[in-house]
Amino acid sequence: MFHHESWAYFMTFAHTPVMVDEIVALFAPVPGGLVVDATLGGAGHTTTLLDTYEHLSILGLDQDDEALAAASERMAPYGDRAMARKTRFDGLGDQLDDLGYDEISGFLFDLGVSSHQIDQGDRGFSYRTDGPLDMRMDQSSARTAADVVNTLDVGELANILRAYGDEKHARRIAQAIVAARPLTTTHQLAEIVREATPARDRRRGDPSKRTFQALRIEVNDELNILRGALDMAIDRLCVGGRGAVLAYHSGEDRIVKAAFRDRVDVDDHRSPVPVMTSDYALLWNGSKKPTAEEDTANPRARSARLRGIERVDNAHAGGDAS
Ligand SMILES: C[S@@+](CC[C@H](N)C(=O)[O-])C[C@H]1O[C@@H](n2cnc3c(N)ncnc32)[C@H](O)[C@@H]1O
């Protein structure tokens, strides 16, 4: 029932890149060299950057075989300006070492899942389509969402729903899950969450959305590896190099904000006069949101928050806030 219908889905990898104009503009001033797209997906951002900037080449990383197959096909026309590797993004440093790059001109993290992953019911990411409780981005990894919901105790499950889904009924839902075990399908789980949610909180959107997000983050260990991967990418930026991150929920964005802020300590407190000590500058304060037009055209863009950082020549620190 949950099998891929055909290989044709490789050809129809559907994902509209988010805030693509802003991201293209952000990389305009970077020196020629390699940009790492740490979340390659369908290579939407990557191919746009390759089309726009002939002085850039791109190394795309993804842990999902279907994404890599679709992206590799789209990147083939760019020859050796485009490379794709299968890895979780915390393998970024190893990949760069392997290819002999100490420094990079830029990086992009477009976090979370692609529309393709959500649309493929048999991947188990969607509460709308019935499928097995899988949710693994890397299908060779061991732990599925079924393992999580069928083995953790109520306290552990509730913690995950609270921390990764901001779910205020976390304990009730966790209790309902444990009482209904074993769970095997997404529709079973979605129904249990709906029933465990008080009627007053069932009105705004599907209440199972938060539980699905939380389980997906747990299964793929998404937040625990993010800070380390960002630090690695920031360390590798050359002077004038820039990094961009698109986050889609508060847990992700908090980590991005802290990773960037920790690099832009602009004041040397030992000095009687303000001294720029930082090697990095934020490209703007806070985060940018998509335009109203993009919001309407692409529902997936709605929650996006874009942050940018630049490695600066310390003698001229301060950033150009462009
Ligand atoms: C939002 S999509 C990226 C879409 C892409 N920017 C485009 O324009 O087509 C995120 C992709 O990153 C991958 N991904 C998410 N977390 C990852 C991680 N920790 N390591 C490697 N890939 C990851 C997912 O498998 C998915 O294909």
**pLDDT-based confidence at residue 274 (cuts at 50, 70, 90):** low
Cis peptide before 182 (omega within 30 of 0): yes
What are the pLDDT digits (tens) for 174-205?
A: 999 999 999 999 999 999 999 999 988 888 78
- pLDDT of 12 strictly over 90: no
Q: DSSP characters for 80-115?
A: GGEEEEE--GGGHHHHHHHHT-S-EEEEEEE-S--H
Euclidean distance between CA atoms 203 and 159, whole angstroms: 24
Ligand 1 centre distance from Cα of residue 39 (Å)? 3
Classify strands 280-282 and 305-311 as parallel, antiparallel or unpaired: antiparallel
- pLDDT of 273 strictly over 70: no
Most ligand 1 atoms within 8 A of CB, residue of 114, 119, 217 to mutate: 114
Residue 213 in tokens: 């997000």
What are the pLDDT digits (tens) for 223-261?
A: 999 999 999 999 999 999 999 999 999 999 999 999 999
Q: Whose CA is nearest to atom 2 of ligand 1?
A: 114
Look up the CATH architecture of domain 116-219.
Orthogonal Bundle (1.10)
This prediction has a pTM of 0.91
Provide residues with CB under 6 Å of ligand 1: 15, 17, 39, 41-45, 61-64, 67, 88-89, 110, 112-114, 137, 222, 225
Span of 58-72, 118-132, 272-286 with lowest mean pLDDT? 272-286
Contact 62, 68 (CB under 8 A): yes
Ligand 1 centre distance from Cα of residue 14 (Å)? 13
What are the pLDDT digits (tens) for 143-160?
A: 999 999 999 999 999 999
HEC assignment per residue over 13-79: CCCCCCCHHHHHHHCCCCCCEEEEECCCCCCHHHHHHHHHCCCEEEEEEECCHHHHHHHHHHHHHHH
Euclidean distance between CA atoms 76 and 7, whole angstroms: 18
pLDDT given for residue 1 in this prediction:
34
Q: Whose CA is nearest to atom 24 of ligand 1?
A: 113
* CATH code, residues 8-99+222-316: 3.40.50.150
Ligand 1 centre distance from Cα of residue 117 (Å)? 10
Tell me 120's DSSP state: -
pLDDT given for residue 251 in this prediction:
93
Euclidean distance between CA atoms 183 and 190, whole angstroms: 11
- pLDDT of 275 strictly over 90: no
Q: Whose CA is nearest to atom 22 of ligand 1?
A: 62
| Atom number of ligand 1 nearest to Cα 67 | 27
Please list the residue range(s) of the chain that carry CATH number 1.10.150.170. Answer: 116-219
pLDDT given for residue 270 in this prediction:
60
Euclidean distance between CA atoms 310 and 322, whole angstroms: 11
Span of 47-51, 143-147, 184-188, 299-303 with lowest mean pLDDT? 299-303
Higher pLDDT, 276 or 43: 43
Euclidean distance between CA atoms 70 and 61, whole angstroms: 13
Amino acid at residue number 107: F
Please list the residue range(s) of the chain that carry CATH number 3.40.50.150. Answer: 8-99+222-316
pLDDT given for residue 41 in this prediction:
96
Span of 2-11, 99-108, 111-120 with lowest mean pLDDT? 2-11
Q: Whose CA is nearest to atom 5 of ligand 1?
A: 41
